[in-house]
């Protein structure tokens, strides 16, 4: 099955993003090498330094800049619990495109405030995320807005692929990359770039033990829909597989592992102590996965991505105090990552 986007799509997205986004930095921290051990040289891609504090601004910007003039005039709409909405809102403000963001009732107030701060219309609708998705689709149909799904949207995947294209230009010696996986846009983008630029680059994925839908589907080949999740790392709290990413992930990933929420919380603390950057749960999951895979990657140069830094104050206090935040309620399906 062909990839959902081509390397040319990713290169085109990079050109569209160039006037909007500076490249995110990569950094090498010897203390992190010591922590991971096994002679691994760890390179950190700081997507948390991008506007809105997340790689999702790439996805949002690629989607906004791919609109026709007619689509831009009508505006876009999305369902989200945070970072996807922030990225779209920021890009919409930068390009003068109306953005409506639907979130579940009781959504993170810090992320809601951020979305509103960029001038987007925020609609709190639905008790759970899957109800928010249904309401969002109805509004999109009624108002003839372009619906930008956080995963099942080709410009989103092309935008996510710009991260790995940039990473390889900054660090051509990279031998492997470990990516936190929610919907899969980052990992699929990495696989498309690797196939075109450096086929020897191994792409690994990590998901929470409390949200295993993508991991389990990768293992057994059966798609999932609205499986229960129980993790504090909302950026990877995915209970479904997605049409545009499933087959590429299954055929391309070198391995796919799970990390516990306690391991993810420890990775947040470790990144704070070694890099003095405070990631959100999903932003630390790559490190948690790398520590599990370290013996297999001994002696290699490995990239990890702080894909988001929007950790709310309450969870930050718990984690930096040595604890693990409470997970999302058991049995609540998460339709898509944030």
Q: Are residues 187 and 253 in the same domain?
A: yes
Cβ-Cβ contacts under 8 Å for 102 (sequence gap 6 or more): 77, 78, 79, 80, 123, 124, 125, 126, 132, 133, 135, 136, 139
For the record, the structure tokens of 155 come out as 């410009």
Q: Are residues 124 and 170 in the same domain?
A: no
Task: Specify the DSSP element, H or E, that contains 191.
Answer: helix 185-197
Q: Averaged over 203-226, what is the pLDDT? A: 96
Indicate the pLDDT class of residue 161, thresholds 50, 70 and 90.
very high
What is the DSSP-derived secondary structure letter of residue 222?
-
- Comparing CA positions, the residue from 250, 273, 123 lying closest to residue 188 is 250
Q: Are residues 230 and 256 in the same domain?
A: yes
Which pTM does this prediction carry? 0.95
For the record, the structure tokens of 111 come out as 């992320």
Q: Is residue 234 part of a domain?
A: yes
pLDDT in tens, 251-273: 999 999 999 999 999 999 999 99
Q: Which domain holds residue 60?
A: 56-147
Instruction: For residue 48, give the CATH number of its domain.
Output: 3.40.50.1100
- The CA distance from 79 to 50, in Å, is 21
Indicate the pLDDT class of residue 337, thresholds 50, 70 and 90.
low
Q: With pLDDT > 70 as the criterion, what percentage of the chain qualifies?
A: 96
C-alpha dihedral (231, 235, 237, 241), degrees to nearest 10: -160
Mean pLDDT of the chain: 94
Q: With pLDDT > 90 as the criterion, what percentage of the chain qualifies?
A: 87
At residue 328, does pLDDT exceed 70? no
Q: Is residue 161 part of a domain?
A: yes
pLDDT in tens, 38-54: 999 999 999 999 999 99
With b for 16 or more beta-carbon neighbours within 10 A and e for fewer, the 59-70 pattern comes to bbbbbbbbbeee
Task: Specify the DSSP element, H or E, that contains 213.
Answer: helix 213-220
pLDDT in tens, 223-247: 999 898 899 998 898 889 999 999 9
Question: Regarding predicted confidence, which is higher, 82 or 163?
Answer: 163
- Which residue, 147, 177, 201, sits at the end of a domain? 147
Q: Averaged over 115-137, what is the pLDDT? A: 91
- Which residue, 123, 147, 171, sits at the end of a domain? 147
Q: Are residues 159 and 216 in the same domain?
A: yes
- Which residue, 118, 147, 176, sits at the end of a domain? 147
- The CA distance from 110 to 112, in Å, is 5
| Spatial contact of 114 and 87, defined as CB atoms under 8 Å apart | no
Q: Are residues 47 and 84 in the same domain?
A: no
Q: What is the pLDDT of residue 223?
A: 97
- Comparing CA positions, the residue from 188, 181, 178 lying closest to residue 10 is 188
Indicate the pLDDT class of residue 333, thresholds 50, 70 and 90.
very low
- Comparing CA positions, the residue from 238, 248, 255 lying closest to residue 179 is 255
Q: What is the pLDDT of residue 106?
A: 85
Indicate the pLDDT class of residue 1, thresholds 50, 70 and 90.
low
Q: Are residues 51 and 122 in the same domain?
A: no
- Considering only CA atoms, give the Rg of the chain: 18
Q: Are residues 191 and 305 in the same domain?
A: yes
| Spatial contact of 178 and 32, defined as CB atoms under 8 Å apart | no
At residue 310, does pLDDT exceed 50? yes
Q: Are residues 166 and 97 in the same domain?
A: no
Q: What is the pLDDT of residue 107?
A: 85
Q: Are residues 60 and 123 in the same domain?
A: yes
**What is the domain count for the chain?**
2
């Amino acid at each position: 099955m062909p990839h959902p986007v081509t390397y040319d799509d990713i290169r085109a997205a990079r050109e569209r993003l160039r006037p909007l986004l500076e490249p995110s930095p990569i950094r090498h921290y010897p203390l992190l090498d010591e922590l991971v051990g096994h002679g691994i040289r760890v390179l950190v891609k700081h997507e948390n330094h991008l506007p809105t504090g997340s790689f999702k601004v790439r996805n949002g910007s690629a989607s906004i800049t791919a609109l026709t003039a007619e689509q831009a005039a009508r505006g876009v709409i999305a369902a989200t619990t945070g970072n996807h909405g922030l990225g779209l809102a920021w890009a919409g403000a930068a390009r003068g495109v109306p953005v409506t963001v639907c979130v579940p009732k009781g959504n993170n107030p810090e992320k809601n405030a951020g979305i509103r701060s960029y001038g987007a219309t925020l609609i709190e609708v639905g008790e759970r995320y899957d109800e928010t998705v249904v309401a969002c689709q109805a509004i999109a149909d009624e108002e003839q807005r372009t619906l930008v799904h956080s995963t099942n949207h080709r410009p989103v995947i092309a935008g996510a692929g710009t991260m790995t294209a940039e990473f390889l230009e900054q660090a051509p010696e990279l031998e492997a990359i470990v990516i936190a996986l929610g919907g899969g846009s980052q990992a699929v983008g990495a696989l498309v770039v690797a196939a075109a630029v450096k086929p020897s680059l191994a792409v690994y994925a990590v998901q929470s033990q409390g949200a295993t839908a993508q991991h389990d589907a990768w293992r057994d080949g059966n798609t999932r829909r609205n499986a229960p999740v129980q993790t504090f790392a909302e950026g990877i709290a995915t209970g479904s597989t997605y049409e545009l990413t499933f087959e590429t992930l299954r055929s391309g990933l070198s391995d796919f592992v799970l990390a516990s929420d306690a391991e993810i919380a420890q990775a947040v603390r470790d990144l704070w102590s070694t890099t003095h950057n405070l990631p959100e749960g999903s932003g630390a999951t790559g490190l948690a996965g790398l520590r599990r895979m370290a013996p297999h990657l001994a002696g290699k140069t490995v990239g990890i991505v702080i894909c988001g830094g929007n950790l709310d104050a309450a969870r930050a206090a718990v984690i930096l105090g040595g604890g693990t935040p409470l997970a999302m309620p058991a049995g609540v399906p998460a339709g898509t990552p944030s």
